[in-house]
Amino acid sequence: MGAGTAGLLAGAALAALVTAAGTGAAGAPAPAAAPVMGGLVAAPGGEGPKARWVRDEARFAPVGAFVPSEAVTYDLDLLPAAAWIRVGQAVSRSETTVVAEVRGLRPGRAYGAHVHTGVCGADPQAAKGHYQHKVDPVQPSTDPAYVNPYNEVWLDFTTDAEGAGRAVARHSWGFRPGEAASVVIHDQQGGAGARLGCFSVPFVSPEDAPGRG
């Protein structure tokens, strides 16, 4: 491992996150305690000096379930009760990464998903519209200049033969405090589609990342 390798790593978008895990010299094995998800290495306790890593998980339950869940399904056929979702978020002052993982959905099917601005409710519309970095002055937003994966957080995925899926979205911007509230799963990919389910997620903002004065 020479200086050249270290330079390449430093140029990688996720290097800051990996560094946050607190590895020693280049090439040294990461501490055994560091949880790994999707190639991201989180510092023990979910926090590091340069990035904050948080995650939340739940099992979907129908509206009005005896045991309510932070994850609500509106379509028991395409998004069965007890299907599982986990959403992770790594936040630094320069980058925000959101990872969504699901299990127990229909196998081999394409689903759409986005970060929305409202908390989930009995009404699928409770989650409101997509979180937008540059907010479309015309709402509900349909303009492709605003409705796209660069200005919004799209987490579209296709499930495998077991009904599991995973998506990652990475942006150079972060959420405004309190304006990103949920992940909505849709019956089709892209910017639209019927709402199959919703998971309320307490997303954090760059302002919450460590190192800010």
Q: Which is nearer to Cu ion, 17 or 184 (CB)?
A: 184
Shortest reach from residue 162's CB to Cu ion, in Å: 24
Q: Binding pattern to Cu ion, positions 11-50, x when CB under 5 A?
A: ----------------------------------------
How far does Cα 150 stand from its chain's mean position?
A: 14
Residue nearest to Cu ion (CB): 114
Residue 55 per-residue DSSP state:
E
Shortest distance in whole angstroms from residue 114 CB to Cu ion: 3
Q: Which is nearer to Cu ion, 23 or 189 (CB)?
A: 189
The pattern of x and - marking residues 109 through 148 that bind Cu ion according to CB under 5 A reads -----x----------------------------------
Size of the site for Cu ion (CB under 5 A): 2
Q: Kindly state the smallest distance separating residue 130's Cβ from Cu ion, in Å.
A: 5
Supply the Cα-derived Rg of the chain in whole angstroms. 18
Compute the least distance from the CB of residue 40 to Cu ion, in Å: 24
Distances (CA, A) of 149 to 98, 107, 182, 198, 206: 12, 24, 16, 19, 19
Binding positions for Cu ion, 95-114, rule CB under 5 A: 114
**The amino acid at 203:** F
Site for Cu ion in 50-89 (CB under 5 A): none
d(CA 6, CA 18): 12
Q: CA–CA separation, 25 vs 22, rounded Å?
A: 10
Q: Which of 212, 144, 210, 208 lies closest to 180, judged by CA?
A: 208
Name the minimum Å distance from CB 32 to Cu ion: 38
Write the DSSP assignment of 184-195 as a string of letters.
EEESSSSS---E
Q: Phi first, then psi: what are they for 170, rounded to 5°?
A: -130, 135
Q: Is 33 helix (H, G, I), strand (E, B) or coil?
A: coil
Find the part of the chain contacting Cu ion (CB under 5 A) among 133-141, 145-153, 170-178, 180-188: 180-188
> From the list 20, 184, 185, 198, which residue makes contact with Cu ion (rule: CB under 5 A)?
184
Q: Are 105 and 80 in contact (CB under 8 A)?
A: yes
> Cα–Cα distances in Å, from 191 out to 77, 92, 105, 145?
22, 26, 20, 12
Q: How far is the CB of 184 from Cu ion (least distance, A)?
A: 4
Nearer to Cu ion, 75 or 208 (CB): 75
Residue numbers at the binding site for Cu ion (CB under 5 A)? 114, 184
